[in-house]
């Protein structure tokens, strides 16, 4: 049996993943007052039986005002912590898959309806809340603008991120991914399109990096040593004069020096003016450039749909891991099918061992 890079283990700090398939965070908009619900048990449970190397739970707000929608997951109180711990216990009763948590703040893109109800901003006088951001610039000119954060606000938010990291550790999370992508708060600090501050947190690249790096330091200090902390980035805004790949590399270098365990490379979603050249693997060149410049373990994501495509990305050295999101919602057994096509073995729960087809009769390893 030929060796497949996709099915080789990888170690991030003190955490070893059995393969390079990463289930990327996917918002479910199904929480109640920030708490996980039965939907999360079903959703995470099925993904935890997929055979992937690691599951990253959806964007989880560090404070109520940091939620994208009122139905977003959060981890800011004893109640939200208890709910998450219970959900993890139920999933882990049947799966050994490492589970990470993406922690986030939506910034100016907070207070919106869930996608299947249109996703538009909910104004404070219509049942939403006042958003906050680096500068008082709305994502959409038609929206209620955010209030610019004060320096005192930033101190409180750093502690909110750190507190969420401590709660995640107590709940049993194996790794943390800090969300600094997709136009949310930390990305808003990074991009000159959304950050027009004139203090130490705006203007130069060094200043725009300052708050995201402070948040990383606070989270890294609060989360147990040996458990990885990584960062998800939008490597470019896809807008002239916006956040760029070169600036992302500078951020990645600074994160590496602070002990960042991995970088998860996405792009866009900060500006309505973006022009994205969407196509198979369209974000892989961004991951390749960051990996080549910094050597950080890198997750590539974005229209990577075929096992052979994923394998080629890894063999070529473009990335170290492959992130799947919509594709694994569509096919929750993608890792099984990838192992069968690449001639590899994969772990499966004993209840499912009889599912192996005749042409891949030796597909499964027992968990």
Based on the residue annotation, tell me whether 184 is a catalytic residue of this protein: yes
Active-site option among 29, 94, 184, 352: 184
What is the three-state SS of the chain? Answer: CCCCHHHCCEEECCEEECCCEEECCCCCCCCECCECCHHHHHHHHHHHCCCCCEEEEEEEECCHHHCCCCCCCECCCHHHHHHHHHHHHHHHCCCCCCEEEEEECCHHHCCECCHHHCCCECCHHHCCCCCEECCCCCCCCCCCCCEECCHHHHHHHHHHHHHHHHHHHHHCCCEEEEEECCCCHHHHHHCCCCCCCCCCCCCCHHHHHHHHHHHHHHHHHHCCCCCCEEEEEECCCCCCCCCCHHHHHHHHHHHHHCCCCCEEEECCCCCCCCCCCCCCCCCHHHHHHHHHHHCCCEEEECCCCCHHHHHHHHHCCCCCEEEECHHHHHCCCHHHHHHHHHCCCEEECHHHHHHCCHHHCCCEEEC
Q: Which residues are catalytic?
A: 184
């Amino acid at each position: 049996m030929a060796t497949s890079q996709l099915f080789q283990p990888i170690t991030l700090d003190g955490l070893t993943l059995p393969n390079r398939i990463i289930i990327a965070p996917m918002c479910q908009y199904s929480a109640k007052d920030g708490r996980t619900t039965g939907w999360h048990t079903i959703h995470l449970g099925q993904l935890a039986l997929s055979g992937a190397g690691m599951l990253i739970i959806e964007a989880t707000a560090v404070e109520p005002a940091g939620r994208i929608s009122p139905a977003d997951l959060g981890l800011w109180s004893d109640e939200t912590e208890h709910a998450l711990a219970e959900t993890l216990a139920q999933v882990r009763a049947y799966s050994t898959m490492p589970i990470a948590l993406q922690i986030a703040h939506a910034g100016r893109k907070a207070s919106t309806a869930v996608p299947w109800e249109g996703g538009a901003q909910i104004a404070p006088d219509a049942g939403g809340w006042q958003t906050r951001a680096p500068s008082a610039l709305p994502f959409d000119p038609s929206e209620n603008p955010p209030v610019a954060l004060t320096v005192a606000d930033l101190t409180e938010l750093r502690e909110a991120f750190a507190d969420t990291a401590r709660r995640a550790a107590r709940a049993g999370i194996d790794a943390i991914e800090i969300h600094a992508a997709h136009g949310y708060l930390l990305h808003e600090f990074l991009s000159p399109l959304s950050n027009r501050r004139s203090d130490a947190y705006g203007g130069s690249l060094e200043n725009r990096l300052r708050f995201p790096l402070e948040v990383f330091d606070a989270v890294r200090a609060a989360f147990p040593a040996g458990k990885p902390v990584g960062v998800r980035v939008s490597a470019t805004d896809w807008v002239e004069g916006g956040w760029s790949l070169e600036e992302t590399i500078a951020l990645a270098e600074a994160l590496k020096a602070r002990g960042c365990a991995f970088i998860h490379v996405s792009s866009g979603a900060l500006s309505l003016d973006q022009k994205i050249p969407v196509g198979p693997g369209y974000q892989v060149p961004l991951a390749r450039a960051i990996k080549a410049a910094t050597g950080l373990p890198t997750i590539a994501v974005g229209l990577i749909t075929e096992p052979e495509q994923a394998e080629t990305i890894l063999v070529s050295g473009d990335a170290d891991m492959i992130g799947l999101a919509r594709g694994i919602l569509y096919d929750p057994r993608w890792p099984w099918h990838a192992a069968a096509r690449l001639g590899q073995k994969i772990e499966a729960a004993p209840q499912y061992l009889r599912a192996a087809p005749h042409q891949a009769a030796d597909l499964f390893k027992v968990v």
